[in-house]
């Protein structure tokens, strides 16, 4: 009869291995996503400086609305967002949608300066957003399939976490235990320490990850109910989430309303809020309504309160404070925790580090798997061939991906600015580089491949700030905040992280090299030590 | 500032917990501590960690505070573990203990 712990150990081993590489990819790209806005900024070095918002907010909004009316006359929806925290554009951001005289849809997406002129156009790039989106879209496959794979992998991850906790015999006795230079024991200790220390984060991120794509598991039900065609998803979301059809324009034109009194009313309703975002439906038409939103709160709850007015008379239609309800609230809080948008600079570092440690947990688990199998081989040639294959692929999958991500940033700086499909080629560069390193790992001995690929990653990340200095003015020499100047902490932060990551990989490469160098001669005198000690 | 205080409470907290365990006492002090001292460290460790959590909840509100204290606990405990592995003798500093004089036989 198998004990619970044995069966859990079996489950942990196989669920972990089966989705290990996909989960590793999700953790690495997802962690990068905690710096999506910063990476976006880094990848658009030409973007104009952020504009200041203070007493001028009403004027900024009115200028932007006038500009939107020029771009899309008779729009059905216009929204204007003022720059606020890191997750928003550093300029005034305008989205306008409508239809032209022929009935075709028209869209405008503008980034404006104070006077309503366009912020300098940046190079075409996939940016930090695309890197972050990789962790559930996988880029080359249809969106629904990507979500399904991500959701499925997350379920296995959750199973691996729970079975891992049960399998771990001495969770408290070994809480602080990390023994170096003890071969397989070191791998197990590292795997345990990383997992236990970041356990709250890993449980949160996996469980909320499952919930974020949970509808993907209901696809068969949707298809049975609605059939499978182009607008299935749209029908479902309108029926499920009650998205109302837009009101048609009446054709009776009105003058644009003065925003200042509306803002005054907004301030009376919400004295502690600051106007940050407006949404106008059918601007310039008698049916038009306008919503004034406050800033998104600083806490975990990512919501803004709003006041809705008619655009003709400025009469208040609706006042909505910032509230979260019951089950909806549980879902929302988990989503917010997953995305970490509320995190300030220090908490953001902790989210990023915890995410990377999740990747480390999976990587050490994968290596540990091969180490354990190697012990049990006993001369089975076929099993050994398979094992060697996995040992080799581990190198390319784990270290190679990191080189690929560095290559993504190289492509951003080095591909010609006017190039056709430039944004796509940045992503192709990532995957092609990764492929090259996977192939490399297949033809090298794993011990050698580890050293080479870890060194390559370290070198690639270490050179990124240098490349940045060679190709732009926004390098560490100009961006580091020093006494007497503000610098640009967003740009400097990205460069500094590249250096920290490079140092981490250089350390890993050194450990791998030292292991290989003194692995053989040390073995004979290593065995007696634990015997003497324990 | 609030962050600094949270870490300054959590790091000695985890150091205290680790130093209440025999196997870490061996690597840090070179031998076992008296039972009363172990108990004191354990008690001190738990209290300091609790104080760190309460402090973050006071400084950031309970919801954000809980998230922050998870992160603080993760990073602090990793620091203690790396200390125990790489520089065990120095871990006593994390609990604000002085290095013993060469002739000190008490620990």
pLDDT at A158 over 90: yes
C-beta of residue A433 within 8 angstroms of C-beta of residue A407? yes
Closest CA to A262 of A254, A270, A253: A270
Mean pLDDT value across residues A391-413: 96
If one compares A382 and A358, the residue with the highest pLDDT of the two is: A358
C-beta of residue A311 within 8 angstroms of C-beta of residue A353? no
Mean pLDDT value across residues A422-434: 95
Q: How far apart are CA A13 and CA A416, in angstroms?
A: 46
| End-to-end C-alpha distance for chain B, whole angstroms | 35
Tens of pLDDT along B18-71? 999 988 998 888 888 899 999 999 999 999 999 999 999 999 888 889 999 999
Task: Give percent of chain A with pLDDT exceeding 90.
Answer: 38
Q: What are the angstrom distances between the C-alpha of A26 and each of A29, A192, A353?
A: 5, 20, 15
pTM attached to this predicted model: 0.85
Q: Residue B75 is nearest to which of A177, A200, A350, comparing CB atoms? A: A350
- Strand-pair category, A75-81 with A92-99: antiparallel
Mean pLDDT value across residues A416-422: 88
Q: What are phi and psi of A55, to 5 degrees?
A: -65, -20
| End-to-end C-alpha distance for chain A, whole angstroms | 31
Q: How far apart are CA A317 and CA B86, in angstroms?
A: 65
Mean pLDDT value across residues A496-514: 94
If one compares A24 and A181, the residue with the highest pLDDT of the two is: A24
Which positions ≥6 away from A406 have C-beta within 8 Å? A457, A460, A461, A464
Q: Residue A201 is nearest to which of B70, B80, B84, comparing CB atoms? A: B70
CB contact under 8 A, B78 and A347: no
- At residue A88, the pLDDT reads 66
Tens of pLDDT along A172-207? 888 888 887 777 888 899 999 999 999 999 999 999
Determine the residue of chain A that is closest to B19 in CA distance: A176
Q: How many Å separate Cα A339 from the centre of its chain?
A: 7
Q: Residue A176 is nearest to which of B18, B72, B86, comparing CB atoms? A: B18
pLDDT at B99 over 70: no
- At residue A357, the pLDDT reads 95
Instruction: Give B-chain residues touching A179 at CB under 8 angstroms.
Output: 85
CB contact under 8 A, A193 and B17: no
Tens of pLDDT along A272-316? 888 888 999 998 888 899 999 988 776 677 778 889 998 888 889
Pair of tokens at residue A114: 């104070």
Q: How many residues in total does chain A contain? A: 534
Tens of pLDDT along A324-340? 677 777 888 888 899 98
CA geometry: angle at B19 spanning B17 and B25, to 5°?
A: 155
Q: How far apart are CA A344 and CA A299, in angstroms?
A: 10
Assess A187–B contact: CB distance below 8 Å, yes or no. Answer: no
pLDDT at A71 over 90: no
CB contact under 8 A, A178 and B81: yes
pLDDT at A32 over 80: yes
Assess A176–B contact: CB distance below 8 Å, yes or no. Answer: yes
Assess A181–B contact: CB distance below 8 Å, yes or no. Answer: no
pLDDT at A503 over 60: yes
Assess A303–B contact: CB distance below 8 Å, yes or no. Answer: no
pLDDT at B101 over 70: no
Other Cβ atoms less than 10 A from the Cβ of A528: the count is: 9
- At residue A487, the pLDDT reads 78
If one compares B8 and A237, the residue with the highest pLDDT of the two is: B8
Tens of pLDDT along A442-470? 999 999 999 999 999 999 999 999 999 99
Q: How far is B16 from chain A (nearest CA, A)?
A: 11
Interface test with A, best of B14, B52, B81, B95 (most A CBs within 10 A): B81
- At residue B21, the pLDDT reads 92
CB contact under 8 A, B71 and A180: no
Q: How far apart are CA A305 and CA A293, in angstroms?
A: 6
- At residue A527, the pLDDT reads 38
Interface test with A, best of B71, B73, B75, B84 (most A CBs within 10 A): B71
Pick left, alpha or beta for residue A446 (phi over 0 → left; psi -120 to 50 → alpha; otherwise beta): alpha
Assess A177–B contact: CB distance below 8 Å, yes or no. Answer: yes
CA geometry: angle at A225 spanning A223 and A226, to 5°?
A: 70
Mean pLDDT value across residues A119-144: 85
CA geometry: angle at A498 spanning A494 and A502, to 5°?
A: 170
Mean pLDDT value across residues A484-494: 85
Instruction: To the nearest 10°, report the CA torsion of A204, A205, A206, A211.
Output: 90
pLDDT at A522 over 60: no
Least confident among A37-46, A86-95, A260-269, A498-507: A86-95
Assembly ipTM: 0.88
- At residue A298, the pLDDT reads 67
Q: How far is B96 from chain A (nearest CA, A)?
A: 19
Q: How far apart are CA A72 and CA A523, in angstroms?
A: 74
Least confident among A88-92, A209-213, A236-240, A273-277: A236-240
Question: With bands split at pLDDT 50, 70 and 90, how would you rate the model's confidence at A436?
Answer: very high
- Strand-pair category, A105-112 with A92-99: antiparallel
- At residue A5, the pLDDT reads 81
Q: How far is B81 from chain A (nearest CA, A)?
A: 5
Mean pLDDT value across residues A216-236: 78
Q: What are the angstrom distances between the C-alpha of A55 and each of A52, A92, A266, A306?
A: 10, 15, 15, 19
């Amino acid at each position: 009869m198998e004990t619970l712990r044995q069966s859990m150990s079996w489950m942990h081993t196989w669920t972990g291995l089966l989705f290990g590489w996909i989960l590793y990819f999700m953790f690495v790209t997802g962690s990068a996503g905690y710096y999506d806005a910063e990476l976006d900024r880094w990848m658009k070095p030409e973007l104009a400086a952020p504009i200041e918002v203070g007493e001028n907010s009403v004027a900024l909004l009115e200028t932007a609305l006038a500009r939107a009316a020029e771009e899309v006359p008779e729009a059905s929806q216009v929204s204007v967002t003022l720059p606020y925290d890191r997750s928003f554009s550093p300029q005034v951001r305008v989205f306008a949608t409508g239809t032209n005289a022929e009935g075709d849809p028209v869209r405008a997406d503008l980034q404006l300066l104070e006077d309503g002129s366009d912020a300098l156009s940046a190079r075409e790039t996939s940016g930090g957003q695309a890197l972050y989106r990789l962790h559930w879209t996988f880029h080359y496959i249809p969106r629904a399939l990507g979500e399904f794979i991500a959701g499925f992998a997350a379920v296995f991850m959750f199973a691996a976490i729970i079975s891992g906790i049960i399998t771990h015999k001495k969770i408290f006795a070994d809480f602080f235990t990390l023994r170096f230079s003890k071969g397989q024991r070191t791998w197990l200790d590292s795997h345990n320490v990383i997992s236990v220390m970041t356990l709250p984060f890993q449980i949160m991120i996996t469980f909320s990850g499952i919930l974020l794509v949970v509808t993907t598991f209901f696809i068969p039900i949707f298809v049975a109910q609605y059939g499978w065609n182009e607008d299935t998803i749209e029908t479902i979301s309108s029926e499920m989430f009650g998205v109302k059809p837009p009101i048609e324009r009446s054709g009776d034109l009105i003058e644009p309303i003065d925003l200042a009194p509306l803002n005054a009313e907004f301030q009376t309703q919400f004295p502690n809020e600051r106007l940050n975002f407006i949404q106008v439906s059918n601007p310039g038409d008698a049916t038009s309504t306008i919503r004034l939103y406050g800033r998104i709160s600083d806490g975990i709850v990512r919501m803004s309160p709003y006041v809705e007015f008619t655009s003709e008379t400025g009469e208040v239609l609706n006042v909505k404070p910032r509230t979260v309800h019951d089950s909806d609230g549980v879902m929302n809080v988990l989503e917010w925790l997953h995305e970490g948008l509320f995190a300030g600079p220090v908490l953001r570092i902790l989210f990023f580090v915890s995410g990377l440690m999740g990747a480390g947990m999976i990587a050490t688990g994968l290596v540990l798997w091969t180490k354990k199998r190697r012990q049990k081989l006993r001369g089975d040639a076929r099993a050994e061939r398979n094992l060697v294959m996995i040992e080799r692929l581990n190198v390319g999958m784990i270290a190679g991906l990191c080189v690929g991500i560095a290559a993504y940033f190289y492509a951003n700086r080095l591909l010609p600015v006017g190039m056709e499909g430039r944004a796509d080629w940045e992503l192709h560069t990532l995957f092609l580089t990764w492929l090259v390193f996977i192939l490399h790992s297949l033809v090298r001995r794993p011990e050698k491949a580890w050293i080479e690929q870890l060194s390559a990653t370290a070198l690639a990340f270490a050179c990124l700030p240098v490349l940045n200095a060679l190709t732009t003015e926004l390098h560490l020499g100009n961006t580091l905040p020093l006494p007497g100047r503000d610098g640009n902490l967003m740009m400097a932060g990205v460069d500094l992280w590249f250096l920290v990551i490079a140092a981490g990989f250089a350390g890993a490469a050194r450990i791998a090299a030292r292991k290989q160098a003194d692995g053989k001669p040390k073995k004979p005198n290593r065995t007696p030590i634990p015997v003497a000690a324990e | 500032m609030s962050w600094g205080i949270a870490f300054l409470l959590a790091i000695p907290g985890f150091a205290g917990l680790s130093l209440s365990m025999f196997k870490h006492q061996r690597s840090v002090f070179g031998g076992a501590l008296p039972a009363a001292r172990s108990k004191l460290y354990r008690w001190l460790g738990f209290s300091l960690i609790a104080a760190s959590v309460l402090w973050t909840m006071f400084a950031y509100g309970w919801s954000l505070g809980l998230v922050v204290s998870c992160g603080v606990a993760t990073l602090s405990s990793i620091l203690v573990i790396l200390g125990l592995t790489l520089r065990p003798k120095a871990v006593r500093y994390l609990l604000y203990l002085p290095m013993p004089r060469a002739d000190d036989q008490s620990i």
